[in-house]
């Protein structure tokens, strides 16, 4: 029983890590048409995440694998019911990854522009659809007695789900733009700071609406206080990010945006607990931590593996960011082209 709840926490931790890290990657990709004035600017922006984007994306693979092993019923319902939405996310991620590798092959201006467009679209689509998906997980979906999703893609495109998608889109965008200001210099850095202030203000309004809606819907839960506290922490962190950005403290602004994402996603998991996928048509058809988890033997074995592997993953990630901590400038990009 304790291991079931531990693994709910671990799965939540992995998805939080993914959204914090790949979230600003999405934001950087989406910022290209708003920040770049020429191809050199575009290359500078892309190079800010060049050494880390693929490492950030591995958190999704680990989170999906752990979800499959620890909560197979949840995994089966989620990946079969949300198949089309998750397929669109996968296609977008593939297009984005391919574009990072091929845009610089030097086959002409149109070649580069096409791959730049795929980076933009491949960043925006997952940023929006992940929010839609998790909002619907928290809200619940129609299911039958065998835990099969009985709706369609249009079922997921409800007001709450769309607002969740808009929140992640704007929060990730702002997070990414602040990262660009942290990793660049000169005019590009100043443009990024200005854009982050504007997008952050809009993101704050949408986040308050979505997280407020989430809190109101779960006020009758025994742990409602925790959900409220996490939502308030997300709001405070976002305000701090905007303040730090305004005074030019990019590092602190980026850290505050990371905390914003952390607390926002944690709010969703707190609201979801102890369910993993509620049924809107009949509560008895829903999935909970207890009826969706693997056997105790499986969870025990996974706990030992996670206890060894997770610290190594986190340490390697921290080391990678330390190695590539320097700013990316137009001069260094132009020199690398010759």
Specify the 3-state DSSP secondary structure of 277. Answer: strand
The band of 191, judged by pLDDT with boundaries at 50, 70 and 90, is: very high
Average pLDDT, the chain: 91
pTM > 0.85: yes or no: yes
For residue range 274-301, what is the model confidence (pLDDT) as tens digits?
A: 999 999 888 889 899 988 889 888 999 9
Q: How high is the pLDDT of residue 313?
A: 84
Confidence grade of residue 337 (pLDDT, cut at 50, 70, 90):
low
Cβ neighbours of residue 272 closer than 8 Å, sequence gap 6 or more? 137, 138, 278
Q: How far apart are CA 227 and CA 138, in angstroms?
A: 12
What value does the mean pLDDT take over residues 43-51? 89
pLDDT bin (cut points 50, 70, 90) of residue 1 is: low
Percent of the chain with pLDDT over 70: 98
Q: Are the C-beta atoms of 296 and 3 separated by less than 8 Å?
A: yes
**Whose structure tokens read 């990630």?**
317
Compute the average pLDDT of residues 74-95.
91
Question: pLDDT by residue (tens digit) across 210-237?
Answer: 999 999 999 888 888 999 999 999 999 9
**For residue 195, how far is the Cα from the chain centroid?**
20
- Rounded CA separation 62/273 (Å): 21
Burial 313-334 (b: 16+ CB within 10 A, else e): beeebeeeeeeeeeebbbeebe
Give the pLDDT score at 33.
Answer: 93
The residues facing 277 across adjacent strands are: 287
Q: Compute CA distances 146 → 73, 155, 257, 292, whole Å.
A: 10, 19, 40, 12
- CA 3 to chain centroid: 26
Closest CA to 281 of 107, 139, 90, 184: 139
Phi, psi (degrees; rounded to nearest 5) at 281 = -85, -30
pLDDT of residue 335: 64
d(C-alpha 143, C-alpha 153), whole Å: 14
Look at residue 276 and give its three-state secondary structure: strand
Q: What is the largest CA-CA distance in the chain?
A: 65
**pLDDT tens for each residue of 92-107:** 999 998 988 888 776 7
């Amino acid at each position: 029983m304790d291991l079931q709840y531990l693994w709910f926490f671990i799965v939540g931790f992995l998805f939080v890590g993914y959204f914090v890290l790949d979230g600003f990657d999405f934001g950087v990709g989406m910022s290209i048409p708003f920040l770049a004035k020429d191809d050199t600017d575009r290359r500078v922006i892309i190079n800010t995440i060049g050494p880390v984007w693929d490492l950030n994306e591995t958190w999704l693979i680990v989170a999906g694998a752990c979800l499959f092993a620890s909560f197979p019923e949840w995994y089966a319902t989620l990946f079969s019911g949300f198949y089309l939405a998750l397929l669109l996310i996968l296609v977008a991620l593939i297009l984005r990854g391919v574009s990072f590798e091929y845009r610089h092959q030097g086959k002409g201006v149109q070649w580069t522009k096409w791959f730049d467009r795929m980076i933009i679209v491949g960043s925006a689509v997952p940023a929006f659809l992940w929010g839609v998906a998790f909002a619907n997980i928290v809200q619940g979906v129609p299911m039958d007695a065998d835990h099969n999703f009985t709706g369609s893609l249009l079922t997921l495109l409800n007001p709450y789900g769309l607002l969740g998608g808009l929140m992640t889109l704007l929060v990730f965008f702002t997070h990414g733009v602040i990262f660009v200001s942290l990793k660049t210099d000169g005019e590009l850095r100043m443009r990024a700071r200005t854009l982050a202030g504007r997008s952050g203000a809009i993101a704050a309004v949408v986040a308050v609406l979505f997280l407020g809606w989430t809190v109101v819907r779960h006020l009758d839960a025994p742990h409602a206080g925790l959900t409220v506290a996490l939502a308030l922490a997300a709001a405070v962190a976002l305000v701090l990010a905007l303040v730090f950005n305004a005074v030019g403290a990019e590092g602190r602004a980026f850290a505050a945006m990371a905390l914003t994402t952390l607390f926002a996603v944690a709010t969703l998991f707190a609201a979801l607990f102890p369910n993993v996928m509620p049924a809107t048509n009949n509560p008895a058809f829903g999935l909970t931590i207890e009826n969706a988890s693997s056997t105790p033997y499986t969870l025990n074995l996974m706990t030992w593996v996670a206890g060894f592997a997770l610290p190594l993953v986190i340490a390697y990630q921290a080391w990678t960011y330390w190695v590539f901590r320097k700013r990316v400038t137009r001069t260094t990009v132009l020199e690398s082209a010759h």
